[in-house]
Amino acid sequence: MVGWYAIFVEARQEERFQEFINKVYPDENIETLVPKRKLLERRQGEYHERILKLFPGYVLVNTDMDEIDMYYKLNASPNVISVLKNDGYPVTVPNEEMEIILALTRYGEVIDFSNLYQEGDSIKVVSGPLVGREGIISKYDHRKMRAKVVLNFLDKQRKVDLGAHMITKRS
């Protein structure tokens, strides 16, 4: 079945795996994505823009996993720990979740800054690429202008660091 699959790779080897796939299998119908996000970091009193991976250790791959050899090609690639599976079969990332990720990255790979709206622990994004999305802020650092937000990904709750220029509380 053609779809997006999550490949678990060794730490900090996402780009290397992506380059390997593009170089070794250029004729195969394989599209890779390593979503990244921009964050503002404060160091020595100055703000610096930094780009971090949205899902460290994962590469999203759009291909046809019904072909048995495709599964084995990907699983046997350097730096791969495993293809995410359920009951022994590769599991696709749900279309709704991939639509969000692709919209956030705008079919590129870097998610730009978002402005968050906070209501207690529940937040709703009111502008930027995450507009309309909802999650729960588990931690917000005003000094670093960073929010740890819990989002659902692959039917599991994952914490994601998001940069924020402004978060306001609803009264």
The CATH architecture annotation of domain 1-112 reads: 2-Layer Sandwich (3.30)
What's the first-to-final CA gap in the chain, in angstroms?
A: 48
CA atoms within 13 A on the CB side of 11: 0
**Which structure tokens are listed for 116?**
């968050």
Percent of the chain beyond pLDDT 90? 41
pLDDT band of 168, cuts 50, 70, 90: very low
Where exactly are the structural domains of the chain? 1-112, 113-171
pLDDT digits 0-9 by tens, 123-165? 766 555 555 667 777 887 766 767 777 766 667 776 767 665 4
Q: What is the dihedral of CA 8, 9, 15, 21, to 10 degrees?
A: -80
What average pLDDT does this structure show over 50-78?
92
> What would the CATH number be for the domain defined by 113-171?
2.30.30
How far is the C-alpha of 136 from the C-alpha of 162, rounded, in Å?
12
pLDDT band of residue 103 (cuts 50, 70, 90) is confident
**Digit-coded pLDDT (tens) for 7-30:** 999 999 999 999 999 999 998 889
